[in-house]
Each structure stands twice: as structure tokens, then as C-alpha cells.
Chain A
């Protein structure tokens, strides 16, 4: 950045600010202050509790072995691979629309006009990495899984990872822009020139999406967030929906939808398989930490949810002219056929895999199949929950009330699923716990159907 560029940018910023004081430094530092306080007050105690509940001795024995290292590196690499994908949807350089229209679209060099946003994201990423390292390292040390010395390398390495994350994030944004990285482009190449390769159309799209999603989150409108974040389907357009009976055609619709959203179907399959396996394995021993079925159910909930797009789209349709020949409630139930069948099939295949390695128990398979009803009920709840009540936005309610309101479907799954799984693993015979799980699942389904009927009445 030349002195002249700096001068011009200062003039532009002065014009934008007018008579108002420049609070940008404080605005940037305040989130850092809050994050540091939160990491110290909540992060480290939660991390050490997590490491303790995961069986600290077992973890201490396995974490520092070559296998532990391979697992850690693999998980890190997997997470890093996801970062560019995030950048394609929401990159690190997303100035507000007026700034893009007036300043970034001007002849000033883009690496000058966008430098401030990039530095903010880079700094945030590094600080985030340092805090994650400090929380993880502190948790390991307090739980006596590792010596306190681990705090230093954990913090330093996570800080460096923060730099890498920011770079990958930016590369994702560059690759996701409408102009992309055309081979004939005469723009300068290299990391330092990444900012010059961001085109105005892509920046505007991300900025508009940012405003839409931000507004939708504040208004509690998750539907807008979902539809704005996900790319519309264009795959397998030549495959036609096959006609069939009124309910069967809904299931066929969902299968076709999954075929056209292959990634959703695949990551749903992966998460459901991991969740199902985790749930089955957590029932094998009374010594299994309670956190194991809890984590397995979270993963299973996410996997099952990836197959529920048809259900969510049906919920989106309330309030519009109805054209289908079956009732709103029956359509909702028919949309559960594919995810429930896919869950059952996945559980059976996973149990075959567990049988091959000698870890199969028939009880666990029956349990996993029963958990399908619980997941179906919670996704009925999630799809038809609608808008949060006004009280959630009140000054007395705050963020926890809103998070609780949104998380009710997941919490219902976790409370019923984890409590009964922990009970089943510890009881002499698991069938009483299993029966209670089914009772709980029936309650969650009924809750979901009540929400369906409520949406039906409102539309």
C-alpha cells in the first residue's frame, strides 16, 4: 500500500464517518474482550469437565501415542478442508454494501480498499485459534491428561492454525466468486494478490447474503437462513419423478430430492452411520461415559436432518395456496418415510459391520432402530417450530432464551435418548429403559404433530 493510497483511504473513511467519532478500534476490540472472558470463565471449565468425563486416564494413555497423533492430524486436516467451502459461501472479506458500491467499485486498488476487512478477519482467526489452544490446553492440564507445559505449544500451534484457516478461508472466497480464477486472467497471482482477485459481483453477493442472514437470525427466521445459505439444486434434471399413489409419491419426491442434493445425502449417510455406531457401542458397557451416547445422538440428529429437506420444504409451504390432494398432516408424515427408512437401513448396515469386528449385540440394533422414532419426532418439531415467540426477543429473555427455544428439538432428543441409553447400559436388562425411550419418542412425535397442526391452522 503506497502513501498516496493510504491518504486516499483515510479521506474516504473521513467522508464516510462525517462528524461521528471513529469507534472502529473499540468495536473490533470489544468482541475480543468478550471472547477472552468467555474462554476463561466458561471454556476452560467446560473443557476440563469434558476431558474428565471422557475418562481422563484412558485419554492420557492414548492421546500421546502415534495413533492419537494420526487421529488428531486427520481431524484437523478434515476441518481445514471444510474451511474453503465456508469461504465460498461467506468469506473473510465482506464489507457492507454501501462501501462496496462507493469505495470498492472505484478505481482504487482493491488490495487497499479491502485490506482493513482482511486484517480484521485474519486477526480474529488468529485470536480465535489462540483461545481454542488455551482452552484445550488448559482443559487437558487441569484434567491431568497432560502436563501444564502443553498449554504453550497448544496455544502457539492453534494460533498458527488460525493463520492457515484465514488463508484457506480467503482462497475459498476467491474461488467461489462468479468470475472465479479464469486461466486467461491477467491479474497478478499469489497469496498476496488474493484481494485483487475478488470481483465486485461476488463481494456484493456475499455482502447481500450477509445482510439477509444477519437480519434473519435476528428475526429468528431460520428458513431464510437455510434457503439463502444453500445453493439451489440443478443436478439430475433429466430424471423424472415417477407417478404413484398419493403418499408414495411424496416419498419418491424426497428420494429424488436427495439424488439431486448428493452431498446432503452423503454427509447425512456419514453422520448417521457414525451416530448409529456410537449409540450402539455406548450401550455395550456400564462404564461407558454418559457423554458418549450424548455425542452420538448429536451426530445422528445432524445426519438424520440432512435427509429431511422434503419435510422442511413442506413446512416452508404453509400459508400458500395448497395444491396437493392430501392433508397437510399426512403430507408431513409421508415426508418422514425416506429419512426413517434410511436411518433403519444405515443402522442395519452398521450393525453388520460391528458384527464383523465382534462388537454386535442384537439389543443395540433394536435400540438404534427405536431411536429412529425419536429422531423423526424431533425433526418434525424442528421443521414446524415456526417463528420464535415475541417474548424471546424481549430485553429480559436474552440470547440463552432464544438458543433454548431453537434447541428444543435437539434437547428433546438428547434428554430422552441420553438418559435412557445411560440407564439401558447400566441396567441388568435394558428393556425397561428401551420401553421408556419409546414412550419418550412417542411424546416427542406427538409434540411435533401438535406443531404441524398449529401451522396448518395458521395457514
Chain B
């Protein structure tokens, strides 16, 4: 069931292949150790799952690899260059869902997806279709005309995932994407991510769900408690 390909997955054709690498990456703030030195390598069409107890630094590592946080030690690179979210090349390659993304409280769900899609310069006429397809894919198409503040916490999570999935990217960084989702929705998400991987996207996911990890992971990185 989990390995089955779902229909109408609106991914960007042919994601470029990138190598995202963390070499001895660690993070300290004063005396507090947020992340012990860790190595991770992510290649095209690969899924790496980060595992570890709460507070071990999974989110910190994802932030460093998304280029939104600098490492105290070690290096984080995308195709050999330092990862920095302010660089167009980093933003073009990496789509990250680390914490809740900001939403506009005066836009509906479908408006958000059209806005994100349009800012990536894709063909305007089909942005509506792509937005509808993503909502349908995540089975929240019936919520298209709701505002973000009108969603339950699980629906919010699906909406946040739709915002990440609608934008073009080659690498998906997801921090516990299964949180607040019921078992059926976790299965659905797993299928969607497997399809993304089959289409050439790379996935780096912090995950606490053993079933999702078994289905998705090519490599599991266990992060020791900091």
C-alpha cells in the first residue's frame, strides 16, 4: 500500500541532481550543545531519515542544511558550496518545512498555493490547476476556500505540507512531517513522498514514525543526544 504510486502528482519535471552534505556539523550556543558533530550525505533520489530523541538536534541539523542557521563547527555544503538560504541557488534547490511557515491571514488555502507558484515564475495559466491538484493530492481540496485560522491542527499540517510541495525543488527537508496526522494521512504522505523520490527528488526527513521510516528511508542517521 505504502509503495503504491498515487495518481496526478504535480511535481516539477526532472529535478536537477544535487549533493547536500554535512561534514562534522555541530552547534553550540555558549556552553549549551544543541547538536553534536554529525555527518550526513544526501544524493539525488535518495531519502535520509534522521532519528533521535527529543533535543538531540534534528531540527538544528535541518536548519543548518537549509542554510538558515550557521554551524559552530564543520561544514554544510550544497554541491560543494556553503549552504546559505539567501543564495538563489540554495532557495531554488531546497524546499524546507521546519516549523510552521508563515501564512497570510487574509488569503485562503488555494490563494497561498497560487501565490507561491506564481512567485517561482511558472506558467501562470496553469498555477490554478497545480494548486487544485496539490490540495486534491493531500485530500484537503474541500478546504480550498478556507482561511488558515479556520483549520484544525492536522489540517494546518497538511496545508503547510501543500505549501512546500507546490513550489519547485530538488531537495525536500521536512521536520517531523507526520506530526498531528492520523494514520491514514501518514500513509498518504508516505505515498506522496515516495512518488517525489521516484521522480528524482532527494528527501531529508526528521521522523519519529517507524512505519514511515521503514517505507521511505534509504539511509537512517541516528543522532546521539546532545
Please indicate whether A and B come from the same complex rather than being unrelated chains: yes
Residues of A at the B interface (CB closer than 8 Å) are 227, 232-234, 237-238, 240-246, 248-250, 253, 256-257, 260-261, 309-310, 313, 316-317, 320-327, 331, 456-457, 459
Known pairs A243-B128, A244-B118, A325-B121; A234 contacts B102 (CB<8 A): no
Q: B128–A232 contact, CB under 8 A?
A: no
Known pairs A320-B102, A323-B101, A456-B86; A240 contacts B111 (CB<8 A): yes
* Complex Cα gap A313–B102 (Å): 9
Q: Which residue of B lies closest to A317 (CB)?
A: B102
Q: A321–B108 contact, CB under 8 A?
A: no
Shortest distance from the beta carbon of A268 to any chain B beta carbon, whole Å:
14
Q: A322–B127 contact, CB under 8 A?
A: no
Q: Which residue of A lies closest to B130 (CB)?
A: A243
26 chain-A/chain-B pairs, Cβ below 8 angstroms: A234-B147, A234-B150, A237-B146, A237-B147, A240-B108, A241-B111, A243-B128, A244-B118, A244-B124, A245-B121, A246-B121, A249-B115, A250-B119, A257-B104, A257-B107, A309-B106, A310-B104, A313-B102, A317-B102, A321-B68, A321-B97, A323-B116, A325-B119, A326-B119, A327-B86, A456-B86
Q: Which residue of A lies closest to B118 (CB)?
A: A249
Shortest distance from the beta carbon of B176 to any chain A beta carbon, whole Å:
13
* Complex Cα gap A244–B111 (Å): 12
List the 7 shortest-distance A-B pairs measured between CB atoms, nearest first. A243-B127, A325-B120, A317-B102, A249-B118, A241-B111, A325-B119, A257-B106
Shortest distance from the beta carbon of B76 to any chain A beta carbon, whole Å:
17
Q: B167–A323 contact, CB under 8 A?
A: yes
Q: A261–B106 contact, CB under 8 A?
A: yes
Which residues of B79-108 have CB atoms within 8 Å of chain A's CB atoms? Answer: 85-86, 88, 91, 95-102, 104-108
Q: A459–B107 contact, CB under 8 A?
A: no
Not counting A250-B119, A261-B106, A325-B119, a sample of 7 additional A-B residue pairs whose C-beta atoms are within 8 angstroms of each other reads A240-B108, A240-B128, A243-B117, A244-B124, A249-B114, A313-B105, A321-B97
* Complex Cα gap A321–B105 (Å): 16
* Complex Cα gap A322–B100 (Å): 10
A261 partner residues in chain B, CB cutoff 8 A? 106
Q: B104–A313 contact, CB under 8 A?
A: yes
Q: Which of A242, A325, A459 contacts B116 (CB 8 A)?
A: A325
Q: Which residue of A lies closest to B96 (CB)?
A: A321
Interface size class of B (residues with CB under 8 A): 35 or more
* Contact of B65 with A by CB under 8 A: no
Q: Which residue of A lies closest to B167 (CB)?
A: A323
* Complex Cα gap A250–B118 (Å): 9
Q: B111–A256 contact, CB under 8 A?
A: yes
A246 partner residues in chain B, CB cutoff 8 A? 118-121
Shortest distance from the beta carbon of A250 to any chain B beta carbon, whole Å:
7
A331 partner residues in chain B, CB cutoff 8 A? 119
* Contact of B145 with A by CB under 8 A: yes
Centre residue among B66, B108, B119 by max chain A CB count within 10 A: B119
* Complex Cα gap A257–B147 (Å): 12
Q: Which residue of B lies closest to A258 (CB)?
A: B106
Q: A256–B106 contact, CB under 8 A?
A: yes
* Contact of B164 with A by CB under 8 A: yes
Shortest distance from the beta carbon of B8 to any chain A beta carbon, whole Å:
19
Known pairs A256-B111, A317-B102; A243 contacts B124 (CB<8 A): yes
Q: B121–A233 contact, CB under 8 A?
A: no
A322 partner residues in chain B, CB cutoff 8 A? 85, 91, 101
* Complex Cα gap A249–B113 (Å): 12
Q: B107–A320 contact, CB under 8 A?
A: no
Q: Which residue of A lies closest to B108 (CB)?
A: A237
Centre residue among A240, A243, A326 by max chain B CB count within 10 A: A243
* Contact of B135 with A by CB under 8 A: no
Shortest distance from the beta carbon of A267 to any chain B beta carbon, whole Å:
16
Q: B105–A233 contact, CB under 8 A?
A: yes
* Contact of B22 with A by CB under 8 A: no
Known pairs A243-B125, A459-B68; A320 contacts B115 (CB<8 A): no
Q: B100–A241 contact, CB under 8 A?
A: no
Q: B118–A243 contact, CB under 8 A?
A: yes
B194 partner residues in chain A, CB cutoff 8 A? none
B149 partner residues in chain A, CB cutoff 8 A? 232
* Complex Cα gap A321–B167 (Å): 12
Q: A253–B111 contact, CB under 8 A?
A: yes
Q: Which residue of B lies closest to A260 (CB)?
A: B106
* Complex Cα gap A317–B105 (Å): 11
B223 partner residues in chain A, CB cutoff 8 A? none
Q: B106–A321 contact, CB under 8 A?
A: no
Q: Which residue of B lies closest to A330 (CB)?
A: B119
B124 partner residues in chain A, CB cutoff 8 A? 243-245
A260 partner residues in chain B, CB cutoff 8 A? 106
Q: Which residue of A lies closest to B173 (CB)?
A: A321
* Contact of B207 with A by CB under 8 A: no
Known pairs A253-B104, A324-B116, A459-B68; A232 contacts B145 (CB<8 A): no
* Complex Cα gap A453–B136 (Å): 37
Q: Which residue of B lies closest to A309 (CB)?
A: B106
A456 partner residues in chain B, CB cutoff 8 A? 86
Shortest distance from the beta carbon of A408 to any chain B beta carbon, whole Å:
25
* Complex Cα gap A309–B107 (Å): 12
A326 partner residues in chain B, CB cutoff 8 A? 119
Chain A proximity mask over B54-91: 1 for CB below 8 Å, otherwise 0: 00000000000010100000000000000001101001
B110 partner residues in chain A, CB cutoff 8 A? 240-241
* Contact of B163 with A by CB under 8 A: yes
